[in-house]
Amino acid sequence: MTIKPTLYLLLALAHAPVLAQSSADRHLDAYRCAVLGESSACRPAVSLPEVRVEQRLELGPLAKYHVYQGMDRDAAIERARLHGEHPVWRTVRVTRRTLSSEERYERAMGRGIAPYVFEDTLQLTVDRGNRSSGG
């Protein structure tokens, strides 16, 4: 038994409005949740902490240049150390700000507004070579 190509086309056309409707519903639900505040339209959200502390390794200008030229990050750090440049470990407190209803809608649509905007440097430590990667 062979199924004719027109049957595939008919099946695809039959399901197309359902797929289009579900996409439109998702956008409408995101609008109703974020802007109108209707909790019944909200999907479960990922819980993000209000405040977090991060430790970042920041390269100096020479090491950044070597990475830009295609060198491996660790090799770039070691080459910059030969010239007296050391990377810096920066301990940062990142605080999440409250988004407006418009920003929540944009985020729900996937237009990514970062919820973390305030960064306070807590500590700077020069890495003299005891560790060159990680966080």
**pLDDT, tens only, 51-88:** 889 999 999 999 999 999 999 999 999 999 999 999 99
Tell me the C-alpha to C-alpha distance, in Å, between residue 96 and each of 101, 107, 109.
15, 14, 19
85 neighbors 62 (Cβ within 8 angstroms) = yes
For residue 28, how far is the Cα from the chain centroid?
A: 24
pTM as predicted: 0.49
Tell me the C-alpha to C-alpha distance, in Å, between residue 78 and each of 54, 72, 127, 133.
23, 10, 11, 11
Tell me the C-alpha distance between 114 and 50, whole Å: 13
- Confidence (pLDDT) at 38: 81
Tell me the C-alpha distance between 131 and 74, whole Å: 10
Q: What is the pLDDT of residues 16-61, one digit of tens each?
A: 544 444 556 878 887 888 778 787 777 765 666 778 899 999 999 9
Tell me the C-alpha distance between 84 and 58, whole Å: 15
Tell me the C-alpha to C-alpha distance, in Å, between residue 115 and each of 29, 35, 51, 112, 127.
21, 17, 11, 9, 30
53: tokens are: 């502390």
- Confidence (pLDDT) at 132: 46
81: tokens are: 């150390």
